[in-house]
Amino acid sequence: MSTAEIGTPVEPRLVTLSEIRIAADRLRGVVVRTPLLEVPSPADVPARRMLVKPESLQVIGSFKIRGAYNAIAGIPAERRHAGVVAYSSGNHAQGVARAARLLEVRAIIVVPRTIPDVKLARIRADGAEVILHGSTSDERGERAATIARREGLTLIPPYDDLAIIAGQGTVGLEIADDLAETVHAGSPEPTILVPIGGGGLAAGVVTAIKAILPRATLFGVEPVDAADARDSLSRGTIVRWPATRTGRTIADGLRTTSIGRLPFEHLRDQLDGVLTVTDEGIIRAMARAFLDLRLVLEPSGAVALAAMLDSGQILEGRGPIVSILSGGNVDPVVFRRALVDSGTWLP
């Protein structure tokens, strides 16, 4: 019997760089090796190089395939055979459905009754079984846990899981590799901006980057209406924001009311700070991505770009800044409204 089982609190284990490298090996040929793209700036304005990592171009249009595939691929064969279950209305659902299809594993996804048709169609197109259930995330989580227990399926959580964090960390590994070609010994170190919802992406990326480029600076980015991670990290304990507040932001993928326990443990000592962005800033960033980068971003996918474009503070440094654009699964109507509201289009 281990000490954990007799009630002694254990320090949760953190993901290691070598686990992220194993995830990268698993993901080779499965995920897109997304490039770093330069955000154009006028020739006569001396500023830091601004780069983006467009995970909107990833398989399923979001980084979520990385963690989901790594988690499912890591289930021992005898258990993997039975299948997996997840609950999500967003990119994690599509990540699990696609990863299960690629690994030829049965998948059940519990989604809200209010899920948009286009998302439902995409999950079903990947062959997953869909259960429409409940109106809150907690209700769906309970249902998924019940299914997992009864049918012997493995629950694939969206962020509070070491295999998920290691998979998302491959985004950081690729950034570090690409920067190694431009960042030489003695040259200014980079700044990386990463969105925080549940914290899985940020946890993986900060682990990979700090292990390879220890002098790099990492900022999380949150909507002002869902700045729970900022509060959690400054208070040293996980803080929950009310869903009535986080539900206000246009960045629907970042409405999580609190970050996960494991992500928190990864971020508390490694993240350099958290920046917040407004809906107006997010909309301007979506328009800039459309015009100057030819990228279609969902609001959550644009928060790091918004912080890069609007934060005078971080622009005062010297090395390159890399913003992670986490996804591009935007409702066409929301996209159109963003381009109208930003002044790109007349109404």
The footprint of a copy of itself (CB under 8 A) covers: 29, 32-35, 37-38, 40, 42-44, 54, 56-57, 59, 61, 101, 125-127, 181-182, 290-291, 293-297, 328-329, 332-333, 336, 339, 344-345
Asked whether 184 and 178 are in contact (CB, 8 A), the reply is no
Least Å distance between CB 287 and a copy of itself? 9
326 is catalytic: yes
Give the contacts of 147 (CB within 8 A, at least 6 positions apart).
Answer: 85, 108, 110, 131, 153
- Give the H/E segment covering residue 130: strand 129-132
User: Which residues, 6 or more positions from 299, have their beta carbon under 8 angstroms from its beta carbon?
Assistant: 249, 250, 251, 252, 253, 279, 282, 283, 286, 330, 334, 338
Residue with Cβ nearer a copy of itself (76 or 332): 332
Q: Which is nearer to a copy of itself, 126 or 160 (CB)?
A: 126
Nearest-approach distance from CB 158 to a copy of itself, in angstroms: 21
CA distance 131 to 116: 14
Q: Which of 88, 300, 326, 342 is catalytic?
A: 326
β-bridge mates for residue 211, sequence order: none
Q: Which one is catalytic: 64, 88, 232, 342?
A: 64
The smaller minimum CB distance to a copy of itself, of residues 102 and 145, is found at 102
Question: Least distance to a copy of itself from the beta carbon of 329, Å?
Answer: 8
Cβ 187 vs Cβ 215: under 8 Å: no
Query: 327: closest CA among 107, 171, 163, 204?
Result: 171
Least gap, CB of 295 to a copy of itself (angstroms):
7
Positive or negative: CA dihedral 5, 143, 59, 100? positive
In the complex, the smallest distance separating the C-beta of residue 249 from a copy of itself, rounded to whole angstroms, is: 21
Taking alpha carbons only, the member of 291, 339, 284 closest to residue 311 is 284
Residues in contact with 72: Cβ distance below 8 Å, sequence separation at least 6, in sequence order: 80, 84, 96, 99, 100, 103, 105, 154, 156
Query: Considering beta carbons, is residue 182 or 187 the nearer one to a copy of itself?
Result: 182
Whether residue 135 lies in the annotated active site: no
Q: Residue 101 Cβ, how far from a copy of itself at the closest point, in Å?
A: 6
Q: What is the DSSP letter of 31?
A: S
Whichever of 193 and 295 has its CB closer to a copy of itself, that residue is: 295
Which residue, 60 or 193, is less far from a copy of itself as judged by CB? 60
- Active-site positions? 64, 326
